[in-house]
Chain A
Amino acid sequence: MVPMAAQVVVVAVTKIQTTPAIAQNMNMVKPVLVALGLILSFLFMGATKAAVLPIERADLLYHSYEGDGVTIDGPSVLLRKNIAGKVSVSANYYVDTVSGASIDVRATASPYEEVRKETTVGLDYLNNKTLLSTSFTNSSENDFEANSFYVGVSQDFFGDLSTISLSYSKGWDVVGRRGDESFEEEADRQKFGLGFSQVATKSLIVGFNIEHISDEGYLNNPYRAVRFLDSTTDRGFSFATEKYPNTRSSTAYSINANYYLPYRAAIYGDARIYNDTWGIKAQNVKLGYIHPIEDDWIFEVFLRHYKQDKADFYQDLFSRPDEFNFMARDKEMSTYTGLTAGVSVSYEWQFSQTATFKKSAVHFEWDYMTFDYDDFRDATAQTPVGEEPLFGFSANVLRIFASIWY
């Protein structure tokens, strides 16, 4: 009774064709996955019945992000249907409409409007206590095209108290630049994930996750520029295109826990540490509380703190255009602290467990985010070069959606 799923993962991993650069990283990770795939083969000894598929539902979401002079909003539709208790198919259609200009755009160019469309189709297959998940995603906008596929295996064992999961994802990006027809670059990405979760008590579940991501190709944003001292200009500085390394490799480790409080409520938390070959180190921690009232209302609040140290080749201001081999001024690469606070409320209508539509709900979720940069300055400020105030901004994120379960 040797399981197919783990074997599939092992074979797939050993047969993956990669470029030399990514192969370096994979040499470390592949044997681990092979080992884990083989170990998964064990978990099937004496396997009896099954776990359950994801719940069938349909959701219609309106999302909105407003901050730093930018508004990005749009719909997201998610549908999921289970077939014969073994297979679950899902589809998501998501749109981002971008308008306005962020600090990066305000400092270098003029505002723009853009639309991004993303489609994902997924298939989950349940066999005994193994859940095999696959999905394919396409994201398309006028200057960027991304395709990726994902495969994951999740296995319940030890009386369904433990779950181990492995995941692999591969992505291909084609990067363009508005106004420059000849500009076309590529970037590839691979992700390897390992997760473990454990039911600790009747009310507590804990887990940890590790994810290793490798990128290769054109990895910077073609619209971001570095600034360097230039006494020949009025402002005292000029811009040049960023130059990033061709590869990036990162590892993130996270732990999480969910605890059920005696009066029917739950608290949850997660923490992550991250580092990569660009020198970025980050930590974040989140704590949340969910409070239902009767069968109808569910309230939730959370707080998340994020701290990041800059990439090795990041500087807000360089001395000259070719000072280093790699130069970045993208604020995502800088040293900064982010705080997010969120509240949400939902209301459910329970129909009948035997009816076609079992229940429906409406949800309202609002997050307030702040970003405070330690080494990214507001280059639009009218002050001497290098003495501009450190930049910071806040954003409001909304998620308003309706769901139906069938």
Chain B
Amino acid sequence: MTNMNTALATSILAKPLSANRMLQFLVTGAVVVALTIGSISAMAKPLSGEESPDFTLKSRDGGNIKLSEQRGNIVLVNFWASWCGPCRQELPAFEALYQEYQDLGVEILAVNVDDEAEKAKVLLQDIEVSFPVLFDTSGEVSQLYDVSAMPTTVIVDRDGNVRLLHPGYRKGDEKKYEKAIKMLMRE
């Protein structure tokens, strides 16, 4: 056992500085990387309270839909894509919300960010929804809203101000949306 240790110790020292230099480089490199990403705020630019940026997008019915024309309604703008698992899970939840609150002054605009509208349409044959689906194939509106996660839900009040910016989706998040809707309905 002692012979082994000596032999091993010798062999460790035998590949000496190259290993140490590599590790040194690794550590300092990792620190630089950490500092870099640490400085980048993971939060989206907060838009809460500000007026929601206006946009006009083509809808799947063929016509255009403009956000500012929805003033007077509570609007849920949902950015989604056919390739995004949580987005697909979220659509039926939105459909349920829509069925319940559509007549109470709530509108849902599902902004699809697929690079081809056809991909979204194929998915919509599988997951049927009755709310408007808009196509942002160029990503301009996503950029306007600084979408930092897929999916992202933005809730806009009757005056056109952003009141909630919700990145991501986990089962049960639709309850948060419902709570926000009820609160905004009371205003």
Q: Do A and B touch, yes or no (CB under 8 Å, in the complex)?
A: yes
Tell me the A residues contacting B by CB distance below 8 Å: 20-21, 24-25, 28, 32, 35-36, 39-40, 42-43, 45-50, 52, 55, 84-85, 157-159, 162, 164, 194, 245-247, 249, 277, 352-354
* B residues less than 8 Å from A24 (CB atoms): 5, 8-9, 12
Would you call A352 and B126 a contact (CB within 8 A)?
yes
By beta carbon, the residue of chain A nearest B168 is A49
Would you call A52 and B8 a contact (CB within 8 A)?
no
With A and B bound together, what is the CA distance between A40 and B33 in angstroms?
10
Identify 6 residue pairs between A and B in the complex whose beta-carbon atoms are under 8 Å apart, listed by A's number: A20-B1, A46-B43, A49-B167, A159-B148, A245-B7, A353-B88
Would you call A21 and B4 a contact (CB within 8 A)?
yes
With A and B bound together, what is the CA distance between A249 and B12 in angstroms?
9
A25: which of B12, B27, B37, B41 is its contact (CB, 8 Å)? B12
Tell me the B residues contacting A by CB distance below 8 Å: 1, 4-5, 7-9, 11-12, 19-20, 23, 26-27, 30-31, 33-38, 40-43, 85-86, 88, 92, 123, 126-127, 148-149, 167-168, 170-171
With A and B bound together, what is the CA distance between A35 and B24 in angstroms?
11
Question: Given A84-B171, A162-B33, list of 18 further CB < 8 A pairs?
Answer: A20-B1, A21-B1, A24-B5, A25-B12, A32-B26, A35-B30, A39-B33, A40-B34, A42-B34, A42-B35, A45-B38, A48-B149, A49-B149, A50-B168, A159-B40, A164-B33, A246-B4, A277-B8
Q: How far is the CB of A297 from chain B (nearest CB, A)?
A: 17
Known A24-B12, A46-B42, A247-B4; contact A158-B167, beta-carbon cutoff 8 A = no
Known A50-B168, A85-B170, A354-B92; contact A42-B38, beta-carbon cutoff 8 A = yes
* Number of A-B residue pairs with CB-CB distance less than 8 Å in the complex they form: 91
B167: which of A32, A48, A52 is its contact (CB, 8 Å)? A48
Would you call A353 and B4 a contact (CB within 8 A)?
no
With A and B bound together, what is the CA distance between A354 and B128 in angstroms?
10
B30: which of A36, A52, A353 is its contact (CB, 8 Å)? A36
By beta carbon, the residue of chain B nearest A52 is B85
Known A24-B9, A28-B12; contact A48-B42, beta-carbon cutoff 8 A = yes
* B residues less than 8 Å from A36 (CB atoms): 27, 30
Known A20-B5, A21-B5; contact A353-B167, beta-carbon cutoff 8 A = no
* B residues less than 8 Å from A50 (CB atoms): 168, 170
Known A49-B168, A158-B40; contact A354-B127, beta-carbon cutoff 8 A = yes
Would you call B30 and A39 a contact (CB within 8 A)?
yes
With A and B bound together, what is the CA distance between A249 and B23 in angstroms?
16
With A and B bound together, what is the CA distance between A28 and B14 in angstroms?
13
With A and B bound together, what is the CA distance between A249 and B34 in angstroms?
29
Q: How far is the CB of B99 from chain A (nearest CB, A)?
A: 16
With A and B bound together, what is the CA distance between A31 and B65 in angstroms?
58
Known A21-B5, A24-B12, A48-B42; contact A354-B170, beta-carbon cutoff 8 A = no
* B residues less than 8 Å from A25 (CB atoms): 8, 12
Listed from nearest, the 5 A-B pairs whose CB atoms lie closest are: A49-B168, A39-B34, A158-B37, A46-B42, A42-B38
Would you call A43 and B37 a contact (CB within 8 A)?
yes
Q: How far is the CB of B46 from chain A (nearest CB, A)?
A: 12
| Most A Cβ at <10 Å: residue of B1, B11, B86 | B11
Q: How far is the CB of A163 from chain B (nearest CB, A)?
A: 11
B11: which of A46, A157, A277 is its contact (CB, 8 Å)? A277
* A residues less than 8 Å from B42 (CB atoms): 45-48, 157, 159
Q: How far is the CB of B176 from chain A (nearest CB, A)?
A: 13
By beta carbon, the residue of chain A nearest B27 is A35
By beta carbon, the residue of chain B nearest A352 is B126
Would you call A157 and B9 a contact (CB within 8 A)?
no
